[in-house]
Chain A
Amino acid sequence: MSGEDKKIPRRTILRAVAVSAAAALMGASRVQRGTDTTATGKDTTYIDPTKITGTLPGKLGTRSPFEQPVKKPSDISSRTPLQDLYGIITPSDLHFERSHAGVPLIHPDKYELLIHGMVDRPMIFTLRDLKRFPAASRIAFIECSGNFRSGKETMTPQEICGLTSQSEWTGVMLSTLFREVGVHPKATWFLAEGSDAAVMTRSIPVEKGWKDAMIAYGQNGEAIRPEQGYPARLFLPGWEGNTNVKWIRRIELSDQPFMTREETSKYTETIRDHKIRQFSFDMDARSIITYPSFPQQVEKGWIEIRGIAWSGRGKIDSVEISTDAGKHWTKAVLQEPVMDKAHTYFRHLWYWDGQPTEIMSLAVDDTGYRQPTLKQLIQARGTDMGGYHVNPVTAWVLKRDGTVLFKPEKWK
């Protein structure tokens, strides 16, 4: 570092950054509203970045002050800003949250996982023990089964279905631990229990444990975040979010499900003839156009329609796009990699003639399942259908003035 660098008072740099941040934010908001884009050019408060030394290297990276994607929290959950993302990996601090009694603070040295019940050797594993086993990584989404909101035109993708996010998860396969403890052949279910204040529990078929379950301690290359289950969580690719028990402390092998509160009175859904559907583990195929979407503004001409599609049953086979309210459909281009049980990015280039229309996307997975309309879901499940596993085709209305609005459909 030169002597001259040191002479620039820190306060001056901070002020310059703050001023230019504020100016650009104003400019950005003008661009978004599609009005006066020339205003920034006339803005005398904007400082030419080639005329001032930049910020020096730091210990942690930062987001540009001009980019401020945030989750949308409620008392029980916090939603990923899908409309602000460009790819399939959700930045860890934007991963959706759902907890049943808050996020616990767990010291990694105090952490233990007990596996017992119908096993040859009940065992306790520390975090260090878990990390010594052969590890695996997998990119896959986790989605809350209650991931559909509707009701008004001014809703963003985040508000409609922001309870889905994707990470690269790293950990020890549960099958590795099953072998280590010697799971009894007659065990058919296991209880997964968290160490949050809800001591949250779900019963999971043992077969899923052998197939692809993981005790994950890594998320996108770093230790899993507290909101996602630090220091370790159960990860069940493709299965409804709440079964991926966070802060996992105990696994009990059994020959019956435990019928916990979450799998009886909570994460079940009413269907036709007063029936209540239980153990609805798999997340069906789904897609959402994230651009253009509310509150974005578009102009007549070329528009690249963009979004994500995913299925808890396998890979996305195709995504069909309609730009005329569902009359005609064409296949979107899928961005590689297209992975099993993973958010898949799609794009579709389209020339908008400026006439009011509706655009929508429909995901098809490799089992042949086609994402249904809300009407089809109601036909299948009845008008009293519950709020879980609702994955309808979602339409955006383009107005003549370039406004994009969600098209809420009457449901309840």
Chain B
Amino acid sequence: MFIKRTNCYRAAVVMVLGMLACHTNTRPPVPGWPEHFGFGKTATRRQIDSLNISIAPDGKGLPAGSGNAAAGRVIYLAKCASCHGETGAEPTPNRLVATLSDTVRTKTIGNYWPYATTVFDYIRRAMPFNAPGSLTNEEVYSLTAFLLYRNNIIDSTLQLDAVKLPNIVMPAKKYYVNDDRRGGNEIK
């Protein structure tokens, strides 16, 4: 392909600048590619907010509102118990309740989940299974409080909110380690 010499120079300069900027900027551009293709549209704040439901373990993304175990129990019995059992501790594959000292193999919130924020995030995005995304933030806070209470992690009277939830230390967190498999002649 014939490329104008000025374009070549420009590309080379861009590339060198890109390489120099490697530590502070993103990545060097691809030779022969424009800096931007210009495809796609800038997302507006409203568009981002309407989709952004993620919650980080430090609580970033948690909405306003609050809830407690008593209110959560009522919602749980109405919308969750049909799959997870009346108490959440029934021996089903969907079991939610068990403490570290219980001798059950099922992974539950009490014996396996490392972050309390995940409980809120997952209920809000994916539950109930037959009506995902249908719960209000207050309902999700209440259900989260109920399940944490049932797993002996918080007190029954705690009014859970965006400040308190990320500060809860989960029992199983101490067990988590990062993957250290690296290939090579080693079985891990």
Query: Which residues of A are in contact with B by a Cβ distance under 8 Å?
Result: 100-101, 114-116, 121-126, 129-130, 132-134, 175-176, 178-180, 182-185, 191, 193, 197-201, 210, 249-250, 252, 254, 256-261, 264-265, 268, 271, 274-282, 284, 313-314, 365, 367-370, 372, 376-377, 379-381, 389
Which residues of B are found within 8 Å of A123, using beta-carbon distances? 40-43
Query: Which residues of B are in contact with A by a Cβ distance under 8 Å?
Result: 23-27, 29-30, 33, 35-37, 39-43, 47-48, 51-58, 107, 109, 112-115, 117-118, 121-122, 125-126, 129, 132-133, 172, 175-188
23 A-B residue pairings within 8 Å (CB atoms): A114-B51, A115-B43, A116-B48, A122-B48, A178-B26, A179-B27, A179-B29, A179-B35, A183-B26, A185-B23, A250-B52, A252-B52, A258-B54, A260-B54, A260-B118, A260-B121, A276-B114, A278-B177, A279-B179, A282-B181, A365-B183, A369-B183, A369-B185
Residue of B nearest to A367 (CB): B183
Instruction: Indicate the member of A133, A199, A257 with the most B CB atoms within 10 Å.
Output: A199
Contact B39 A132 (CB under 8 A): yes
CA gap between A240 and B64 in the complex, in Å = 35
Contact A380 B188 (CB under 8 A): yes
CA gap between A179 and B47 in the complex, in Å = 21
CA gap between A368 and B118 in the complex, in Å = 38
Q: How far is the CB of B48 from chain A (nearest CB, A)?
A: 5
CA gap between A280 and B181 in the complex, in Å = 8
Give the interface SS of chain B, mostly helix, strand, loop or mixed.
loop
Contact B112 A276 (CB under 8 A): yes
Contact B54 A193 (CB under 8 A): yes
Contact A276 B176 (CB under 8 A): yes
Contact B39 A101 (CB under 8 A): no
Contact A124 B41 (CB under 8 A): yes
Contact A178 B177 (CB under 8 A): no
Given contacts A197-B132, A259-B57, contact A264 B42 (CB under 8 A): no
Which residues of A are found within 8 Å of B36, using beta-carbon distances? 179-180
Given contacts A114-B47, A201-B54, contact A185 B118 (CB under 8 A): no
Contact B118 A259 (CB under 8 A): yes
Contact A201 B125 (CB under 8 A): yes
Given contacts A100-B126, A114-B47, contact A178 B27 (CB under 8 A): yes
Which residues of A are found within 8 Å of B185, using beta-carbon distances? 368-370
- The residue from B29, B58, B126 contacting A101, defined by CB atoms under 8 A apart: B126
Given contacts A199-B133, A274-B175, contact A133 B118 (CB under 8 A): no
Contact B183 A368 (CB under 8 A): yes
Given contacts A265-B113, A275-B175, contact A122 B43 (CB under 8 A): yes
Contact B52 A116 (CB under 8 A): yes
CA gap between A200 and B125 in the complex, in Å = 8
Which residues of A are found within 8 Å of B122, using beta-carbon distances? 260-261
Given contacts A185-B23, A193-B54, A369-B184, contact A280 B125 (CB under 8 A): no
Which residues of B are found within 8 Å of A210, using beta-carbon distances? 27
Contact B39 A185 (CB under 8 A): no
Which residues of B are found within 8 Å of A197, using beta-carbon distances? 126, 132-133
Q: How far is the CB of B131 from chain A (nearest CB, A)?
A: 9
Contact B181 A284 (CB under 8 A): yes
Contact A124 B40 (CB under 8 A): yes
Contact A258 B56 (CB under 8 A): yes
Contact A254 B56 (CB under 8 A): yes
CA gap between A121 and B57 in the complex, in Å = 25
Contact A199 B40 (CB under 8 A): no
Given contacts A125-B39, A185-B26, A377-B187, contact A256 B33 (CB under 8 A): no
